[in-house]
Amino acid sequence: MTWDTIILGAGAAGMMCATQTGGRTLVLDHAKAPGEKIRISGGGRCNFTNMYAGPENFLSGNPHFCKSALSRYTQWDFINMVAAHGIHYHEKTLGQLFCDTSAKDIVAMLRAEMAKAGADLWLETTIAAVSHDGTTFSVDVERNGNRQRLTCANLVLATGGKSIPKMGATGLAYDIARQFGLRITDTRAGLVPFTFSDQRFKDISGVAHPVRATSGGTTFDEAMLFTHRGLSGPAMLQISSFWHEGEDISINLFPDSDPFEELRTRRQAQGRRNLTTELATLLPARLVEHLSKTIDLTGNLADQSDTALRALCDGLQNWHLRPSGTEGYRTAEITLGGIDTDCLSSKTMEAKTVPGLYVIGEAADVTGWLGGFNFQWAWSSGWAAGQAI
Ligand code: FDA
């Protein structure tokens, strides 16, 4: 069977691309349903974009690569599509837009737009092999127990990255890219919780606190969550994308206040108060108890010299921790790295050396921060390739 365009992967990017391609378009996926990551994202409400999305919110070997697609299909274009489908949404925080009802509304919207564009969708289809004779691509698939060869002029790699293999993530896009001579940059798990082999935060698992977290020179002010295995919460997921094994992360437990001035003032007025009790009015009590196992917090406020208070506060505002690792692809929201953007046109997402081969979404070496940026990249890159085709 012959198609104008075959899109491998019916995720966010592949479905968006199929709404734009025109001609005879077929989308293939091995999953039972399209857009499974959309469905489970944002706690089932899908943080589908960010009002403030811009190139500065993305990591890539080439930070300029994402600019063209992001500026030609913006968050406002996607928001208009969402609104046109009558999907109600709200801003949760920091420009992050979520569905009011269900992430399934976004999947249904994309399916409706694909149907409008006349694109076909084959699910539960195994992609066995891909080849190219110089002008035409052949895709060997297995479906309903039958093996068949499909041919097309344009082949779009939209099978995403390696995060959450349980949900069907595979390295297929990388394998096909390699087969066609495209480079793959180093890949690792991003937007992922940190682990500590000694499980040192087990006793305060479940405690959350707003922090300023820094890693690799980048800082985020968001909530941190202590877990059985280590550290999670938006602040930790954000800096995990900037962290490399063996490095420390730095945590400021007082991002918006000056604990030294606060404790000094209290010392003057209420010197007989207990240091731990006072700290427990500024930090979660269970966290203070945990800290007291490694830091000397004994005595009253009056017992603390300026030097002692300063040392204590400096420690709490610049708490250095060295994670042993991360939870890895098992729970990571995203794969950092991927198909080298130097091999692709930033305008069309087409491979520079293989006319007709396109790479979109997470498979490419473009990774967004937490907060709706990764879906925006899927929409923008999918749209750019679809338009070019
Ligand atoms: P995506 O992974 O969506 O799609 C790839 C498709 O290819 C899948 O349908 C898969 O089944 C298919 N496929 C893979 N290998 C195949 C093979 N060998 N054969 C056939 N088909 C194959 N981002 C965001 O902006 N806001 C959010 O709220 C969230 N939340 C979130 C939660 C969780 C738990 C995760 C894991 C991720 C997020 N993300 C997110 C990230 C977001 O899901 C991600 O960036 C996009 O889904 C990437 O879109 P793609 O289309 O590139 O890949």
Q: Can you tell me the ipTM of this complex?
A: 0.99
Task: Indicate which atom in ligand 1 lies nearest the CA of residue 376.
Answer: 25
Query: Best substitution site from 125, 179, 374, 381 to test ligand 1's pocket, by max atoms within 8 Å of Cβ?
Result: 374
Can you give the pLDDT at residue 201?
A: 97
pLDDT in tens, 99-157: 999 999 999 999 999 999 999 999 999 999 999 999 999 999 999 999 999 999 999 99
Can you give the pLDDT at residue 317?
A: 98
Task: Indicate which atom in ligand 1 lies nearest the CA of residue 13.
Answer: 51
Query: Best substitution site from 16, 47, 159 to test ligand 1's pocket, by max atoms within 8 Å of Cβ?
Result: 159
Answer yes or no: is the C-beta of 234 below 6 A from any ligand 1 atom: no
Confirm whether pTM is higher than 0.90: yes
Can you give the pLDDT at residue 77?
A: 98
What average pLDDT does the segment 164-188 reach? 96
Answer yes or no: is the C-beta of 192 below 6 A from any ligand 1 atom: no
Percentage above 70 pLDDT, the chain: 100
Can you give the pLDDT at residue 220?
A: 98
Mean pLDDT over each residue of the chain, to the nearest integer? 97
pLDDT in tens, 337-363: 999 999 999 999 999 999 999 999 999
Can you give the pLDDT at residue 208?
A: 98
Give 264's pLDDT tier (boundaries 50, 70, 90). Answer: very high
Can you give the pLDDT at residue 357?
A: 98
Can you give the pLDDT at residue 50?
A: 98
Answer yes or no: is the C-beta of 335 below 6 A from any ligand 1 atom: no
Cα 95 from Cα 202, distance rounded (Å): 33
Can you give the pLDDT at residue 266?
A: 96
Give 71 Cα–ligand 1 centroid separation in angstroms: 22
Answer yes or no: is the C-beta of 164 below 6 A from any ligand 1 atom: yes
**Amino acid occupying residue 381:** S
What average pLDDT does the segment 280-306 reach? 96
Answer yes or no: is the C-beta of 27 below 6 A from any ligand 1 atom: no
Atom 8, ligand 1: residue with shortest CA distance: 11
Task: Indicate which atom in ligand 1 lies nearest the CA of residue 363.
Answer: 52
Can you give the pLDDT at residue 180?
A: 98
Give 214's pLDDT tier (boundaries 50, 70, 90). Answer: very high
Answer yes or no: is the C-beta of 163 below 6 A from any ligand 1 atom: yes
Cα 362 from Cα 192, distance rounded (Å): 15
